[in-house]
Structure 1
Amino acid sequence: MFFGRQAMAAGEKNCLPDPGLVWGPWKCLPEKLLIHVPTGMAVVADLHLGYRGGDGDTLDDSLNKVMAPLLRAWRREKPRGLVIAGDLVDQPGKKLFAAIHHWFISNQLEVVGLVPGNRDGSALASGLPLFPDGFGLGPYRVRHAFEPGIPMLLHAHEHPMVHLPAPTPCFLLGDNRIILPAYHDRLAGRNILRRRDRADLDKLNCVALVDGELQMLGAVSGLASVDARKSGLKTQCCPGGNSPGENGIGREGPRNLPGRASYSDAVSSGSCPGSHQKRKRQ
């Protein structure tokens, strides 16, 4: 399976480097969107617009602020359309849906399908085209949550993340299953190495968003094997990839990641910063 930075076209000498990473037919974006290259469709999930913290204060200062990364990715990548894989909102409401619908129209962003999530209610008030049975992208079926029996599935709802050593959202990519990170920055994630069903994820590849850049960390099974050797530590860190030398990642974890100590450095120093508090949402 090919993985790497997408090459710039000839003559684009003065263009900025492409921030996306290509894995087979998919292109991961640092804004936590995924593009299906053959169809040109973008996919995003778990936006949880209207999300409120436990103290009752509105965490979304405005739609413009929360949706700025999505809009930036849309204008840079110029996809044909956007598929939302569930949980567009945190709690359904006519006024919120109306504001979101207006935002999409005013920014000329075409939503071709909303696969309702567990927090979207009927989502009829959204004014968006609904696909309650899933949206097809090539051989893949886009659903909100995992559903057994689908040969090639792209879904969300899991909010996958790893500790590097801070909580870091990640894509999980496999030939038959892909899991999207949560779009909303203030949602708590689930550590993929501490899940009871981790065996189901072992063959998936982890692409983490580290300091705004995408890093391939390798197969989840490789991350877990290193994590198990460090299980005596009271604090938990997540190591890097499973194949030495590939993308600058070896058995001791990612090397030279900007702004972060390596996994081995954290172990040798006996310190690994804990995760900051985020409220869990599913």
Structure 2
Amino acid sequence: MKLITSNEQLLSLLPNMVTTVKGEALLFDKMTPFLSATEKWLEDNFTSEEVLSAIADLEASHTTRMLACQIAAYDAFHRAIPHLDVILTPNGFGIVSNSNIAPASKERVERLMASLLEHRDRLLMQFQPLLTAFKGWTESVQGRFFSATMFPNMDVTLRFLKPSGSRWEKFLALRSAVIPVEEFFARQYLSKEQLEVFRSEVLSGQYRSTRHQSICRILQAVEVRCLLNSDPTASMHFEHDALFDIVNTIRDNPEEFPEWHSSATAELYAPAVFENKKESLGYWF
């Protein structure tokens, strides 16, 4: 493991943990398989193996490393909770209990698990934008995953009612729903080339101009309206006016949007000009 490597470090990241006494198994030992699973989850979905290693090599006080460790602790503990109070005896499974501490109710455990996910996801919203600072991340599989839409960060979930599950799962659902909407917008209005520029700018937070930034904000608002509908691909057809306004801005400023002007989509907005020739079947004097 790279992020959390000792029992002391783990206990410092989890509140209200009772320190083990001599002869008891350390919490870190019990949590090792869950911590390993969490690091693999972070590598596969957010950082890449190389970037996670780079984060682990940062100073312990570095913001990115602190966030990664806290995320790992919350996620691993959430994974471990269903197993921590169950033991296997020669006679079958039993519940860990003693006369001093009463087992928590099912409702309290469920609230704890939900709270762990909420805290983890809030930290992920802060953590994921910091990954663009690491060399090679934007071009990685994980970086390309987040740059595939106009919403590269989980904070888009804050524009909707609080999900019943985790915000990460809500983000994945929103991402899947908005992809066909953006494909339609690219095909009919913005072009694939120009939309890729906008996505890259939103991911990095660096915009070519204030006009680019304004269009990105408008486009995000349009897509949120679509996503609020039960059928986003149906509602996208009602956004013609907003999209056409964006196209007009792009047409009027070719120096700021060369990608659009050199795209096949631009030809949709350049109708053929009729030439009056004598050899034509119909000729107007």
Structure 2-normalised TM-score?
0.26
- Greater per-residue strand proportion: 1
Higher helix share: 2
Larger Rg over CA atoms: 2
Q: TM-score, normalised by structure 1?
A: 0.27
